[in-house]
Amino acid sequence: MTTNEIRTKYLEYFKKHNHSIIASSSLVPENDATTLFTGSGMQPMLPYLLGESHPLGKRIVDSQKCFRAQDIDEVGDNRHTTFFEMLGNWSFGDYFKEEQITMMWNFLINELKLDPNNFYITCFKGNEELGVPKDTFSAELWQKLFLKNGIAVGIGENPELDGMKSGEHIFYYGEKKNWWSRSGVPANMPDGEPGGPDSEMFYDFDPTDKKNIHKNSKYAENKCHVNCDCGRFMEIGNNVFMQYKKTIARDGIPGFVELPQQNVDFGGGLERITAAVRNDDDMFNIDVFDEAKKLLINKSGKSYGDDEKITYAMRVILDHIRAATFLIGDGIVPGNKDQMYFVRRLIRRSVRFARDLGINESFTREVAETYINTYKNEYKNLDEKSEFILGELDREESKFRVTLDKGMKQFERVVLFGYEGDFMEKTLVSQAVFDLVTTYGFPIELVQELAKERGLNINMQIVEMKIEEHKALSRTASAGKFKGGLGGDGEMEVKYHTATHLLHQALKIVLGEDVNQKGSNITGERLRFDFSYNEKMTDEQKKRVEEIVNEKISQDLPVVREDTTFEEAKNKGAIGLFGDKYGEKVSIYKIGEGENRGDEKLFSLELCGGPHITNTGCLGEFKIIKEEAVSAGVRRIKATLS
């Protein structure tokens, strides 16, 4: 079955069950200024979930184009793409759990013929405080459906602790996994936002543990579970029972009330479902990529799937050009602002990764043509606008090729300039990197990627500071103010900034004093912290770091700013970037009580321009979501607060 056939089957199946088929909305949200792109099928449905009546009735089915800009750096593995289609079926106050789960099961098992033995389910375990009960109804219904197919399955109460016991296919999780709203967990939802418990479906791509993932990892002894991210299971769909609305009462206490109607919001990644039907966990092996992949293989003379770097580059191009084709098709041309910047970045990254394949002449047009051809029946605008799409790709590609050629030559010169700071750390001269970005228009992300490949480092904090200062100077002709790697001044970002200080100190405690900050980047959703260290962190080390940070959060320590001199800061033992000249006057931030680093009650003392929150108690729960290498001797942690 091809991807197009599976999409059609899904739409027709729900049509048979009295749903109206609607076309996908644009990738640019209409009437919604809060987000740049449509990133889920639910976004365009918001008014109807809240109670407005849909002109086509209470049962709707669609396949929605989605773009998730935040996943751009994740592309390259077997499952991440920036663009995807989300199959969606909707009940606006019509059917609810029973009908949804039964219809979905029958579709996946009877129509798509997925093996029910490879099928796993999660349900909401309930939360008394929120007044939302445990979803035993869904769990027991799924259990009955398994039984109808001759499979007696158990229900796991606490998979995160117990792992998966033999015969268990259904599991309960809390609101971090089995609650859906546009803003995530209940605590993050604003007043009036709809949400509800959900029931997710997973496909097991490795039932016999052929890849031996579990023998060598923390999931040994069968502690693996469907949400553990080991790679064995892939989520293929989410049944959201959108039944509640967040309210913040006059006394400020948050809670939930029932929406005027009980809704179903189902979302399932079309590409992932297709991968499950093929029983191959490499998403880039599904048919929609076939022609484009062939083209890259022909042009490069290299094969897909053998060499890691080549496969990575091919996946980036396959994803990025597909996404750019659809985005331009929806009217977004490459540019410097908002949505346009992402289209530019997608094309530029593709051109740069094509170099890894040895493709140095124009190719984006031909790749895009394969996609237009594959999708033209379903997405007619691609065909109608094909000349426009291909023209925009050509223009951006050829413009960037000139920049890329010049910039690559200049990058080699930067490498020849040698290093700054400790020679062993191989840190490129910050001023030279800055010039490459500002004078040659070379994207900073590209410089980072090239440096990483060569095992060289960039002092991002210094370079970003220079760029910020440069921007501020050209804007207002007055000096810019550096903000500790923050993308904005939002409250969440400030919290993440303080959490970054806690993390930095915790890493020194767990991994040793030699650990030093190499870079920091903060958004409202996560922190990213680069630091010097030679090895992959063990699970115990990560856990220990989390424990220390969470302990300091629970102690509600004061965060205090002190203005002092550079010398004095050094004398007090403050950590932070002393590499470049900060000038005579500096500010330091203390977390805890005391004067000098090392004082018993002073947890952290760091050179920093702020801003920070005033007490650690409001940070919430700190969790490391990723730890990986950035370049030789530099590791990167991504972490969240929730």
Binding site for ligand SER (CB under 6 A): 40-42, 88, 180, 238, 240, 265-267
With CA atoms as reference, report the closest residue to 539 among 622, 626, 633, 642.
626
With CA atoms as reference, report the closest residue to 462 among 416, 526, 520.
520
Closest contact distance (angstroms) between CB of 494 and ligand SER is: 28
User: Which residue, 238 or 616, has its beta carbon nearer to ligand SER?
Assistant: 238
Closest contact distance (angstroms) between CB of 203 and ligand SER is: 16
Cβ neighbours around 441 below 10 Å, total: 13
With CA atoms as reference, report the closest residue to 141 among 190, 104, 194.
104
User: Which residue, 270 or 527, has its beta carbon nearer to ligand SER?
Assistant: 270
Task: Report strand pairing: 20-21 vs 59-67.
Answer: parallel
Residues 182, 43: contact at Cβ < 8 Å? yes
Closest contact distance (angstroms) between CB of 194 and ligand SER is: 10
User: Which residue, 238 or 300, has its beta carbon nearer to ligand SER?
Assistant: 238
**Which are the contacts of 255, defined by CB distance < 8 A and separation ≥ 6?**
130, 131, 246, 247, 248, 249
User: Which residue, 265 or 369, has its beta carbon nearer to ligand SER?
Assistant: 265
Residues 345, 334: contact at Cβ < 8 Å? no
Q: Angle at which helices 308-329 and 364-375 pack, to 10 degrees? A: 60
User: Which residue, 163 or 269, has its beta carbon nearer to ligand SER?
Assistant: 269
What is the full DSSP assignment across 219-271? TTTTT--TTS-SSSEEEEEEEEEEEEEEEE-TTS-EEEEEEEEEEEEEEEEHH
Number of DSSP helices (H) and strands (E) in the chain, helices first:
18, 19
Closest contact distance (angstroms) between CB of 259 and ligand SER is: 15
3-state SS, one letter per residue, for 510-575 = HHCCCCCEEEEEECCCCEEEEEECCCCCCHHHHHHHHHHHHHHHHCCCEEEEEEEEHHHHHHCCCE
Token pair recorded at residue 115: 């093996």
User: Which residue, 163 or 267, has its beta carbon nearer to ligand SER?
Assistant: 267
Closest contact distance (angstroms) between CB of 88 and ligand SER is: 6
Radius of gyration of the chain (CA): 26
Own/partner long-range contacts of 389-395 (Cβ < 8 Å, ≥24 apart): 389/325, 389/328, 389/329, 390/365, 392/328, 392/333, 392/334, 393/321, 393/324, 393/325, 393/328, 393/347, 393/364, 393/365, 393/368, 394/362, 394/364, 394/365, 395/334
Closest contact distance (angstroms) between CB of 201 and ligand SER is: 11
User: Which residue, 183 or 534, has its beta carbon nearer to ligand SER?
Assistant: 183
Closest contact distance (angstroms) between CB of 578 and ligand SER is: 45
Tokens 């759990």 belong to residue: 97
Closest contact distance (angstroms) between CB of 120 and ligand SER is: 17
**Which are the contacts of 72, defined by CB distance < 8 A and separation ≥ 6?**
82, 342, 345, 346, 349
- What is the DSSP secondary structure assignment for residue 61, as one 8-state letter? E
Q: Cα 182 from chain centroid?
A: 14
Closest contact distance (angstroms) between CB of 89 and ligand SER is: 9
Closest contact distance (angstroms) between CB of 355 and ligand SER is: 35
Closest contact distance (angstroms) between CB of 63 and ligand SER is: 12
Q: Angle at which helices 290-300 and 364-375 pack, to 10 degrees? A: 160
- Count of residues for the chain? 642
Name the residue number minimizing CB distance to ligand SER: 267
**Residues 118, 279: Cα–Cα separation, whole Å:** 10
Q: Angle at which helices 308-329 and 290-300 pack, to 10 degrees? A: 130
Closest contact distance (angstroms) between CB of 316 and ligand SER is: 24
User: Which residue, 38 or 461, has its beta carbon nearer to ligand SER?
Assistant: 38
User: Which residue, 265 or 627, has its beta carbon nearer to ligand SER?
Assistant: 265
Closest contact distance (angstroms) between CB of 200 and ligand SER is: 9
Residues 530, 520: contact at Cβ < 8 Å? yes
H or E segment and range at residue 469: helix 460-476
Q: Cα 265 from chain centroid?
A: 21
User: Which residue, 323 or 462, has its beta carbon nearer to ligand SER?
Assistant: 323
Token pair recorded at residue 602: 């002073």
H or E segment and range at residue 210: none
User: Which residue, 40 or 500, has its beta carbon nearer to ligand SER?
Assistant: 40
Closest contact distance (angstroms) between CB of 38 and ligand SER is: 11
Closest contact distance (angstroms) between CB of 90 and ligand SER is: 9
User: Which residue, 180 or 203, has its beta carbon nearer to ligand SER?
Assistant: 180
User: Which residue, 3 or 238, has its beta carbon nearer to ligand SER?
Assistant: 238
Q: Cα 99 from chain centroid?
A: 32
**Residues 371, 374: Cα–Cα separation, whole Å:** 5
User: Which residue, 41 or 76, has its beta carbon nearer to ligand SER?
Assistant: 41
User: Which residue, 3 or 64, has its beta carbon nearer to ligand SER?
Assistant: 64
What is the full DSSP assignment across 617-634? GGG--EEEEEEEEEETTE
User: Which residue, 156 or 267, has its beta carbon nearer to ligand SER?
Assistant: 267
Tokens 């809390």 belong to residue: 174
